[in-house]
Structure 1
Amino acid sequence: MARIALTVLVKETYLSRFSVVVDGCRREGMAVEREMVALGVFSGNIEAEKLTDLELVEGVASVEPERPMRTC
């Protein structure tokens, strides 16, 4: 199963419970690599077929898969 890198944005009303949202995403299978609490964002990776499950975690505002960057 392929894993994809992604960034999760926490709803503003859940910023005081940031760690609860992170834990919820971990329970869905996300491997969290970086937490930026002040920005309300964390990043990591998850199996591609579980990506939509993260959007259902309470407190998640959006889930953005990372896009590959190309150099010219």
Structure 2
Amino acid sequence: MDKVKVNITIDDAHLEQIDQVTEALKSAGLEVEQTLSTLGIVTGSIASDKLSSLSEVAGVDSVESDKPIQLSPPDSDVQ
């Protein structure tokens, strides 16, 4: 089963309860990598078939899949 890296934004009303929201996200299947309390963001990974369950957790404002970025080498023609 493929895992998807995600960035989850916590809504303003639940920022003070970010620890409880993070626990609920873990219960939904999220493997938490980092909790950025002051920003209201939780990062982690989850099985692709469970991705939709994250947006149903109380306190979650948005769920975005992490997109890899690849830069060209400094000496390449494409800049």
* TM-score interval for Structure 1 and Structure 2 normalised by the shorter chain: over 0.9
Normalising to structure 2: TM-score of the pair? 0.88
Q: Which runs of 4+ in 1 moved over 6 A?
A: none
How do residues 1-72 of structure 1 correspond to structure 2 at under 5 angstroms? 1-72=1-72
The higher-RCO structure (CA 8 Å, 6+ apart) is 1
**Structure 1 unmatched ranges of 5 or more:** none
Normalising to structure 1: TM-score of the pair? 0.96
Matched residue SS, 2:44: strand
User: Aligned pair count?
Assistant: 72
Could you report, residue by residue, the CA deviation over 1:33-66 in whole angstroms, capped at 9, with x for unpaired residues? Answer: 1010000001010001111100000000000100
Identity %: 28
Q: Which has the higher helix share?
A: 1
**Structure 2 unmatched ranges of 5 or more:** 73-79
- Superposition RMSD on alpha carbons, in Å? 0.6
